[in-house]
Amino acid sequence: MSDSILEARSIEKSFGGVMAVAGVDLTIRRGEIFALIGPNGAGKTTTFNLLSGTHALDRGAVNFDGHSITGLPSHRIAQLGLVRTFQNLQIFGSMSALENVMVGCHLRGRTGFVAASLRLPSVAAEERRIRAESLDYLEMVGLANRADDVAASLPFGKQRLVEIARALAAQPKLLMLDEPAAGLTRPETESLDDLICRIRDSGITVLLVEHDMNLVMGIAERVAVLHYGQKIADGTPAEIQADERVIGAYLGLDWDGARDYAFA
Ligand SMILES: Nc1ncnc2c1ncn2[C@@H]1O[C@H](COP(=O)(O)OP(=O)(O)OP(=O)(O)O)[C@@H](O)[C@H]1O
Ligand SMILES: [Mg+2]
């Protein structure tokens, strides 16, 4: 098995005149937490959209877990094990927390349409199994006691956790989190830190886009920096924090300044 789980080569995407992602190479190793950072508009979410098949590449190629996923539709990419969450939270507000997570399980469900329509006993058994499994994922994110709450009634930080639990239910090999700490309180961010490490320790590789530098520098094994669609640095947190180009990209601020900027 290859050491890397994802390799993106010279990936590119422009919108009108804006080169959102301009020839980026990324190599993500199995089992690591890899962070992608950069100022607003740098191309981080667009990179996620390209890797997950949400947007088509203009140019370049992506290999995931031994497969070429270049040009594949997003549901095929998700079935291969590359699963993402969204910067602008996407959950089903009127469903319960548990039902949201069950949707994640169903994405990889085996019960066919015919069996489901005939209400065969195997369907009921599968449903019970999915319910129990979904509860385990809610437990993992600390929400088992809110399983029956309507998702929209939960505080924002907990809704983000529901989205992460749903992504886990799809059994990813690589989980991509787009700004999971956005809108969270400081204690919530601290427990997110622990959750992301537990996800990694369970054998899932994590690609993290995040502005919270405390979070990124505390947990990522490696960090890549985007600026105007280009990768300007790639290295350990210590290397990134000492990199002149990176500091320049964050408006010439020092890291405390960059942190204030990120929280602004
Ligand atoms: N669907 C789109 N249509 C047109 N322009 C887009 C689209 N998506 C992104 N862009 C542009 O591409 C550039 C990169 O945007 P992107 O959302 O990838 O940045 P980002 O690094 O995720 O920023 P942020 O930190 O604010 O989330 C920006 O100039 C943005 O305006
Ligand atoms: Mg973004």
Q: Over the stretch 31-56, which tens digit does the pLDDT of each residue have?
A: 999 999 999 999 999 999 999 999 99
Given the CA of residue 13, which atom of ligand 1 is nearest to it?
12
Q: How many other CB atoms are found less than 10 A from the CB of residue 231?
A: 20
Q: Could you list which residues have their CB under 5 Å from ion ligand 2?
A: 44-45, 87
Q: How many other CB atoms are found less than 10 A from the CB of residue 70?
A: 17
Give 44 Cα–ligand 2 centroid separation in angstroms.
Answer: 5
How would residue 252 be classed by pLDDT, with cut points 50, 70 and 90? Answer: low
Which ligand places an atom closest to the C-alpha of 21?
Answer: 1
Give 179 Cα–ligand 2 centroid separation in angstroms.
Answer: 7
Residues 88 and 163: their CA atoms lie apart, in Å, by 11
Given the CA of residue 179, which atom of ligand 1 is nearest to it?
27
Q: Over the stretch 76-111, which tens digit does the pLDDT of each residue have?
A: 999 999 999 988 888 999 999 999 999 888 777 555
**pLDDT value, residue 218:** 94
Which ligand places an atom closest to the C-alpha of 262?
Answer: 1
Given the CA of residue 49, which atom of ligand 1 is nearest to it?
18
Task: Give the residues surrounding ligand 1 with Cβ less than 6 Å away.
Answer: 15, 18, 20, 38, 40-46, 87
Kindly list the structural domains of the chain, giving each domain's residue range(s) and its CATH number in brackets, ordered by start: 1-81+172-264 (3.40.50.300), 91-171 (no CATH)
Give 119 Cα–ligand 2 centroid separation in angstroms.
Answer: 43
Nearest CA to ligand 1 atom 24: 40
* Torsion angle of C-alpha atoms 103, 97, 156, 142, degrees rounded to 10: -110
CA atoms within 13 A on the CB side of 24: 33
Give 166 Cα–ligand 1 centroid separation in angstroms.
Answer: 25
Nearest CA to ligand 1 atom 31: 41
Q: Which of 12, 14, 44, 176 to mutate to test the pocket of ligand 1 (most atoms within 8 A of CB)?
A: 44
The structure's pTM equals 0.90
Give 244 Cα–ligand 1 centroid separation in angstroms.
Answer: 24
**pLDDT value, residue 253:** 56
Residues 43 and 21: their CA atoms lie apart, in Å, by 6
What are the DSSP calls for 133-150, one per residue?
HHHHHHHHTT-GGGTTSB
| pLDDT beyond 70 at 257 | no
Residue 38's nearest CA partner among 254, 264, 249, 263 is: 249
Q: Which of 46, 226, 228 to mutate to test the pocket of ligand 1 (most atoms within 8 A of CB)?
A: 46
Nearest CA to ligand 1 atom 29: 41
CA 110-29-76 angle, to 5 degrees, is 30
Q: Over the stretch 115-167, which tens digit does the pLDDT of each residue have?
A: 556 666 677 888 888 999 999 999 999 999 999 999 999 999 999 999 999 99
